Chains A and B, each alone.
Chain A
Amino acid sequence: MTTMTVRRGPEFTRILGLGAARGENAVPNADLIKPIDSSDEWIRKMTGIVTRVRANPETSVIDLSERAARDAIAHAGIDASEIDAVLLSTITYPHMTPGGAPVLADRIGATPAAAYDISAACAGYCYGIGQADALVRSGAARNVLVVGAEKLSDIVDPADRSISYLLGDAAGAVVIGASDEPGIGPTVWGSDGSGAQLIRQTASWLEYGADRDLPYPTLRQEGPSVFKWASFKMAPVAREAIEAAGLTPADIKAFIPHQANIRIIDQMVKQIGLPKHVAVAKDIVDSGNTSAASIPLATERLLRDGAAKSGDLALQIGFGAGLVYAAQVVVLP
């Protein structure tokens, strides 16, 4: 009997290069408080946010992705032609089809790389890392570009007090490839669709199409419920990712959670039981909540500020609309 040949990849992978692109404008709380009858003080107390980065109207989510991707590829020291798959995690590419990833792959010269979008909201980057790690180790791709990118300012309602004022525009990108040593730990991931309404779009495109008197669809969240879920249910997921990598919290040098809200970040640190030496990413203060982009963005910031360095073990966890979540320990590039 004739048997098929199957591919096998390298045993280990790592992040070879990282890039980040922030929206061009740092928007202070003062610019957003009037329609929500709030104050700079209240936003800082409830979220930690001082400014959020937002892109110019003419800047697209693909433009942001391209900037971050080019930096990541240069940092990795490879040519775009060596990328075999492009994964774009986003909820704000404004076409249901085609996906944004093939467009991005073409722009950066990675064609004919396999290219597809991932819709996993604020967990999208960590979903992408888990997939890229598996694709490389299976032999399906030599190098994978993972981009988390959002232009959330396209789907905010200035009068919404639940989520809109948190959100920013940015892209973060990494190249994942073969490694001599383990550089990406096991991904612990999952979902809970029973919480699908906790972070949602106000109307579906079909509803909006059938009734144009409806307001243009934007985002809403049940803030306190999301806070409770993220702060308390995600800590065990983070601990599981540490254990799955055969590590303990004492081994972790940096904690890079999705930058949803500083109150969630602080509570997670407490619930996970991270030691004092761990550098905790708080890029949310200046960049706001950029959903799928927030973890690579915060990683870039930690490295740039010197709070963490190349080779450090970092725990990252994404969580958000779905509900979906994913966590893994990575070696910083």
Chain B
Amino acid sequence: MALSQDEVLAGLAEIVNEETDIDTAEVTLEKSFTDDLDIDSLSMMTIVTLAEEKFDVRIPDEKVKDLVTVGDAVSFITDAQA
């Protein structure tokens, strides 16, 4: 069954925390991965890969540049699960 937006956000926040030590509470929908969370391109690929495994979705490499905010990623994952 597809997860809710809140469940995807919570799961994504755990992955971000695992990769970067950023507190899960900091990982909110409006935050930009690059500008707000200071996540570089390689850490982003790690987060994407772990998210693919966790949520059983495929996130093409060429799509990653469009995932600017945490909300973009949550929407992509939620839609991909639907």
Contacts and interface: CB of A to CB of B under 8 A. Distances in A.
Contacts of B64: 224
A224 B49 contact: no
A192 B49 CA distance: 19
Interface stretch (B27-35, B37-45, B74-82): B37-45
Interface of B: 40-42, 44-46, 48-49, 61, 64
Contacts, number: 29
A45 interface: yes
Interface stretch (A13-21, A225-233, A275-283): A225-233
* Residue of B40, B41, B48, B49 most packed against chain A (CB within 10 A): B49
A46 B45 CA distance: 13
Contacts of B42: 46, 223-224, 227, 261, 263
B40 to A, nearest CB: 7
Contacts of A267: 46
Contacts of A223: 41-42
Nearest to A267: B46
A227 B61 contact: no
Interface in A209-227: 222-225, 227
Contacts of B48: 228
A267 B45 CA distance: 11
Nearest to B48: A228
Counting from the closest, the 6 A-B pairs by CB-CB distance are A228-B45, A225-B61, A224-B41, A224-B45, A227-B42, A263-B42
Nearest to A195: B61
A223 B40 CA distance: 12
Nearest to A42: B40
Q: Is the interface of A mostly helix, strand, loop or mixed?
A: helix
Contacts of B46: 228, 231, 267
Contacts of A261: 42
B64 to A, nearest CB: 7
A240 B46 CA distance: 22
B61 A222 contact: yes
Nearest to B53: A232
A192 to B, nearest CB: 14
A227 B44 CA distance: 10
Given A45-B40, A228-B48, A267-B46, 13 more contacts: A46-B40, A46-B42, A222-B61, A224-B41, A224-B44, A225-B45, A227-B41, A227-B42, A227-B45, A231-B45, A231-B46, A232-B49, A261-B42
Contacts of B44: 224
Interface string A299-326: 0000000000000000000000000000
Interface string A253-278: 00000000101000100000000000
A224 B59 CA distance: 13
B53 to A, nearest CB: 9
Nearest to B62: A225
Nearest to A45: B40
A228 B40 contact: no
19 contacts: A46-B40, A46-B42, A222-B61, A224-B41, A224-B42, A224-B44, A225-B45, A227-B41, A227-B42, A228-B45, A228-B48, A228-B49, A228-B61, A231-B45, A231-B46, A231-B49, A232-B49, A261-B42, A263-B42
A31 to B, nearest CB: 23
A225 B61 CA distance: 6
Contacts of A263: 42
A45 B20 CA distance: 13
A77 to B, nearest CB: 44
A231 B46 CA distance: 9
Contacts of B40: 45-46
Interface in A72-111: none
Q: Identify the interface centre among B42, B48, B49: most chain A CB within 10 Å of its CB.
A: B42
Contacts of A222: 61
